[in-house]
Structure 1
Amino acid sequence: MNFFSKILSLIKPYWVNGLLNAVFNILAVIFSVVSLTMVIPFLRLLFGTEELVDKAPQLGISVDSVIDYFYYYLSKIIIEHGRYDALFFICVLVTVLFFLKNLCRYLALHVLAVVRNKAVRDIRNEIYKKMLSLPLGYFSNEKKGDLTARMTTDVQEIEWSVMSSLEVAFRDPVSIILFLFAMLLMSPELTLFVLILLPITGFIIGKVGNSLRRYAELGQSKMGDIISIIDETLSGMRIIKAFNAEEATLNKFKGESDKHSNFLISMYRKKDLSSPLTEFLGAAVLVTVMWFGGKMVLSDSTEIDAAMFIGFIAIFSQIIPPAKSFATAYYHIKKGMASMQRIEEVLQVESNIKDKPDAKVIDGFSDKIEYKNLSFVYENANTEIVLRNINFELRKGETVALVGPSGGGKSTLADLIPRYYDPTEGDITIDGVSLRDCKLKSLRALMGIVTQESILFNDTIYNNIAFGKPDASKEEIEEAARVANAHDFILEFDNGYETNIGDRGGKLSGGQRQRLSIARAILKNPAILILDEATSSLDTESEMLVQEALNKLMENRTSLVIAHRLSTIQHANRIVVIDNGEIVEEGEHEELLNKNGLYRKLHDMQTFA
């Protein structure tokens, strides 16, 4: 979708406001043209060259008929009341016309405010919705800061550069056309001369605008790099200070900031050229028209007189401001096109994790989840195969533990069940139905996930626990917290469950955050539970409390547990040992110890440690 089609699609829902804006703008220009043409009878009245009309013309709907009737009415005032009253009449008429013109301009802006602000809101909502629909693999290949920049600074740039120019885009072309039409009625020959000059100025302005877009695109890209560095700095502040890396980090930031600044300097130099360039070109055209039109007035062969020529110049001079603002808006739009292109790049990304047209809704889980000849490699990653020829079952009510050295593929194996990714080869089925044939929402509704890093939100404890079940009652939430060994520490806060836990739960300890994550999973009451090293980063006391909560959570539930500490999974129904993306051992705890294989080696290393 090209830029202008996208803008039209955004403002289409608000077409009534757009239509009203156009109507009010047309009325404003008509009142402006009529008020300016009053200079002609005004000058003729002052210089005594006004030809009196004593016979009333037939009033019709044509422009000539209206003009003839106006001159008849003005002549009638002069004959009956004198030239002073006629002069007063023209002055009052001009005042009323200017009032009506500015009233219409205000009303045009009033109705356009809805179009402008709601269109920007729709862009912001659209890109956020798209972000939520994209698979996890997309975010692994993109800079988080760049995506943040597209959702914030790029959307803001569209608001400032494009939507702020909508008024100009709606108003000024209408103004220019109607002014040219009035000039054409006054002097076709002189208007034709103007139309020859205007395209030349438009060509020059266009050349500058195209270069501005290139600089704007590079500048927005560099802003994404800056936001990425800021995000990394805030997330890794402890490490930066621990390694005395403040200066190195600052130098890296300064380097990106300097690049961004240099692009902006070049861009604003181009942009700042627009106003003086347009004004100079407009003045040059005006002087040329004055020279050409002056020759016509001095010539005896023309029908245009001095008063008519001054009226023509007055109207033509009114073309210069809208032409100037239209040129400035053109530069702004070119700048905004770069931001729109960056947003469109995200909106056009095709998600490979989506429902098939005939996908089935699964309401429950009655038999087993089965991995069949499964292999996997991350898309767009220059890595070896992560999983090779995986075959095993997770039966209903069973707890299966995945263990093995780091980087062996355990977390990837778990991520395939909620379809964060799809297998490269092979398949995963639930009760004999391929996960690809299930509706994503119904599939994920069966699952509860607790990860090593507790993912919490800057909200209250109550809302974080209720995240997976927003309609839960207060009693249900408190019961989930009790089962997760979280209720007691929650009550120690002054505001209890209404306590805000800060960004990513920063006001809580690691054990407290993990117990809230478990409470969230308990409240959801999932049929399938996935635990990804849920206790590996905790101290001994916290681990004991969290492990107790996890044991309650896993009761009578199908669980897939990824464990670093083997002591936590000894009572699993089965233990699957994974190394270098392959299943190397499988069995119960004692059975695997007796095999004297990799599991025994890992167990002994932890025991002796």
Structure 2
Amino acid sequence: MSSLLRIVRFTRSLAPLYTAIIIASVLTSVAALAVPFLIGHATDTVAGALAGETPTGTAVRAVVLIAAAVLLAEIANTVISNVGGWFGDVMSNRMRTILSVRYYDKLLHLPQRWFDSEITGTIVARLNRSITEVTNFMKMMSNSFASMLITTLAVLTISAWYAWPLTVLLLIVFPVYVWLTSLTSVKWQKLEAQKNEQVDIASGRFAEVVGQIRVVKSFVRERGELEDFSRRFRSTDATTRAQSSHWHRMDVIRRAFLNLVFFAIYVIIFVRTVQGAFTLGEMVLLIQLMTMAKAPVESMSWVIDSAQRAIAGSRDYFRVMETPVDPRTAAMMAARPEGSRDGEADGAAGSAAALVRSVPGAPVVAFRGVDFAYEDGEDVLRGIDFELARGEKIALVSESGGGKSTIVNLLLGLYEPSAGSIEVAGHPSAEVPLDQLRSRIGVVFQDASLFSGTIAENIAYGRPEASEQEIVEAARRANADAFIRRFAGGYEQVIGERGLKLSGGQRQRIAVARAMLKDAPVLVLDEATSALDTKAEIQVQKGLDELMAGRTSLIIAHRLSTIAEVDRIITLRDGVIDEIGSPAQLAASGGIYAQLLDLQSSGDTRRLARYDITA
């Protein structure tokens, strides 16, 4: 239950709603407890009239008034329970909002390494499942647990007044029943975790397949994907059978014990009534009270079942929430939106960091003896050392997998070097908050990575506050304005998920416009035109030339003509810098760049492809 208590602490801003729900539960319990007393009194009144002890007219008036009191109690119960239910619904939805926003906020600030080992669809499935299970349980508990607890305590007190053996038996049945139920917890939760794992994997694959449906259809993999999806869900059948068998075996034992104890309770009530210790009304009162006490006991298995699901879900939730974040996200996380600040601190939030200013005369970017390895593998970069001066254009060239994109990822702070340091504007990048670091860098990736929504929204993604005029100007400079205006919706044209309604060249020109509007002093081009045909490449390249004008640029090149226009070229071989020099210097050095020129002259496209180079 510590996980559930942690959820309560995590959402402590909901305390007013919790209080309202508890008050409603108390009033509901009072109204419910009044009914057995009223019916018991009516029973004694009727018995007295039948025995001739009470005049018939008096008895009729009395039972009518009692019936009216029962009606009022039931109406009060109905109204108050629905008011409490309304508060419970609001609380549940608010809790879902808080937990979801906190989860999303956490995901946005987790290091890239964490995402490298996760499937996107699984992350989403885990969010939906865990939060749904937690909020459903908390809603159920808030609407019923308090009233059940109050009613049970009241029944114990009242039964002790009439006959203490009844209270003793009730005090035995509650803990024993809960103990028998808890015996199933360890095995049940283990089996539930196995089911959740398979469902999360299948759901993750489902999302992945939907996102790559063209690939699935092109390779005729519909049947294979369906079989894999079905296999994972079918595997949960055996787990569910074992889980359910264990649970229901224990339920038989629990209910048998419960029935034996209540057999003893009813025997005591009936015998003592026959012996004259109780009136008929008191007998009816006690039977109703015992029925009220039995209901929460019988529902205990359902409560514990829901609690176990919620505990499993909360563990998955907090497993993500406890993942360490990069300390440089402190300033970013300090500005979380409302609903994401409730509950426990992640240890990263703090006051917003002061703006880091450039050191006069320092290089814009500098790599100082940088080594890097993914996880615990072999280093993919070793001793990387170079500087990028203001306004300089540098191209990175290597074989595929030679470390070019890794250098870009390190510059963007997506990963941390295992040795050495990276400086930006004269400051170690490790000391620069990530939002400030990335605000200085504009990126155009090989994959344009657009979002669903309008063209204008995608261009303004890095500057949401940009005016319409600024968006249009960026598109014009990116050589995109003409094709945008040909759409029926113009800049408000919805482009679909990942921009699928656009051609590759159009997507890249939107990406170039997005980088232009961001107007960062450092530009990174990560093979920005390598996936395009010649015509689209020329169109995009015009936009890139406009974008690079006056900027410090780091280019992962794939066209020799682009490489020839840069200030310096850095060639990488097996993760180590092989050469650094101007295109003219390296053309005569006999190194990688000179070899590429020779390959281009000979038309050896196969060997050029090893370097991601097209002639």
TM-score normalised by L of structure 1: 0.89
Q: What is the rounded CA distance, in whole Å, between the counterparts of 1:342 and 1:479 in structure 2? A: 47
Aligned partner letter, 2:42? F
In structure 2, what residue type is equivalent to 1:211? K
State the match for 1:260 in structure 2: 236
- 1:157-196 deviations in Å (ceiling 9; x for gaps): 3333443343222322222122222222222232222222
Corresponding position of 1:463: 457
Tell me the residue number matched to 1:70.
none
Counterparts of 2:498 and 2:388, CA distance in 1: 32
| 8 A Cα contact 2:36 2:284, kept in partner | no
Distance 1:432 1:133 in 2: 25
Paired residues for 1:491-510 under 5 Å = 491-510=485-504
SS in 2 for 1:530: strand
Q: CA deviation at 1:92?
A: 1.8
Query: Aligned match of 1:511 in 501, 505, 525?
Result: 505
Give the stretch that moved more between structures: 599-608 or 544-553.
599-608
Asked whether 1:316 is paired with 2:310, we answer no
Structure 2 SS opposite 1:518: helix
Looking at structure 1, the residues matched to 250 and 128 of structure 2 have their Cα atoms a distance apart, in angstroms, of 27
Aligned counterpart for 1:113 among listed residues 82, 89, 110? 89
Structure 1 residue 394: Cα displacement? 0.4
Length-normalised TM-score, structure 2:
0.88
Shift of 1:278: 6.6
Instruction: Work out the CA distance in 2 between the residues paired with 1:115 and 1:276.
Output: 35
Which of 289, 292, 296 is matched with 2:268 structurally?
292
Shift of 1:307: 3.5
Q: Is the 8 A contact 2:122 2:201 kept in 1?
A: yes
How far residue 264 of structure 1 moved from its aligned partner, in angstroms, is: 4.1
Which of these residues, 325, 331, 334, is aligned with residue 305 of structure 2?
331
User: Structure 1 residues 12, 243: closer, same or farther in 2, change over 3 A?
Assistant: closer
Secondary structure of residue in 2 paired with 1:248: helix
CA drift at 1:35 = 1.6
Separation in 2 of the partners of 1:232 and 1:190?
Answer: 60
- Whether the 8 Å CA contact 2:480–2:510 is kept in 1: the answer is yes
Indicate yes or no: 2:583 matched with 1:589: yes
Aligned partner of 1:42 in structure 2 is 42
Structure 2 matches for 1:83-122, cutoff 5 A? 83-122=59-98
The match for 2:133 is 157
CA contact (8 A) 1:17 1:111 kept: yes
8 Å CA contact 2:396, 2:557 repeated in 1: yes
Instruction: Rate the CA distance shift 1:513–1:266 in 2: closer, same or farther, 3 A.
Output: farther
Q: How far apart are residue 565 of structure 1 and its match?
A: 2.1
Partner of 2:281: 307
SS of the residue corresponding to residue 402 of structure 1 reads: strand
> Against the structure 1 CA distance between its residues 209 and 172, is the aligned structure 2 distance closer, same or farther, given a 3 Å change threshold?
farther
Q: Deviations over 1:535-572 (max 9, x none)?
A: 11100001111111101100010000011222212111
Structure 1: give runs of 5+ residues left out of the alignment.
53-74
Distance 1:13 1:510 in 2: 47
Moved more, 590-599 or 308-317: 308-317
> 5+ unaligned residues in a row in structure 2: which ranges?
331-349, 604-615
Distance apart, 1:458 and its partner CA? 0.4
Structure with the greater alpha carbon radius of gyration: 1
TM-align CA RMSD = 2.7
Aligned to 2:15: 15
Cα separation, partners in 2 of 1:50 and 1:184, compared to 1, 3 Å: farther
Match of 2:370 among 337, 351, 374: 374
What does residue range 341-360 of structure 1 map to in structure 2 within 5 Å?
341-352=315-326, 354-355=328-329
Deviations 1:472-519 (A, max 9, x none): 111110000001010000011000000000000000010000000000
Q: In the alignment, is the contact (CA less than 8 A) between 1:213 and 1:338 conserved in 2?
A: yes
Kept after mapping to 2: 8 A contact 1:468/1:520: yes
Match of 1:198 in 2: 174
Deviations 1:381-438 (A, max 9, x none): 4x21011011110011100111111111111111111211111101111233111111
Equivalent-residue separation in structure 1 for 2:395 and 2:600 (angstroms): 17
Distance 1:475 1:265, change over 3 A: farther
Equivalent residue for 1:425? 419
Q: State how many pairs are aligned.
A: 581
SS in 2 for 1:408: coil
Picking from 471, 474, 482, the partner of 1:477 is 471
Answer yes or no: is the 8 Å Cα contact 1:353–1:421 preserved in 2. Answer: no
Return the alpha-carbon distance in structure 2 between the equivalents of residues 274 and 24 of structure 1.
34
Question: For structure 1, which segment, 205-214 or 183-192, has the greater mean C-alpha deviation from structure 2 after superposition?
Answer: 205-214
Task: Tell me how far apart the structure 1 counterparts of residues 483 and 238 of structure 2 sit (CA, whole Å).
Answer: 52
- Map of 1:65 onto structure 2: none
Which letter does structure 2 place at the counterpart of 1:585?
Answer: E
Q: Give the aligned partner of residue 127 of structure 1.
A: 103
Alpha-carbon deviation of 1:209? 4.4
Distance in 1 (CA, whole Å) between partners of 2:100 and 2:282 is 52
Distance 2:248 2:506 in 1: 55
Specify the alignment match of 1:545 in structure 2: 539
> What CA distance in whole angstroms lies between the structure 1 residues aligned with 2:139 and 2:65?
41
Q: Is contact 1:574-1:588 (8 Å) kept?
A: yes
Distance 1:526 1:364, change over 3 A: farther
CA distance in 1, matches of 2:75, 2:599: 89
Q: CA–CA distance in 1 between the matches of 2:250 and 2:133?
A: 18
Q: 1:155 and 1:323 mapped to 2: Cα distance?
A: 27
- Aligned-pair distance for 1:314? 1.2
Looking at structure 2, the residues matched to 419 and 219 of structure 1 have their Cα atoms a distance apart, in angstroms, of 36
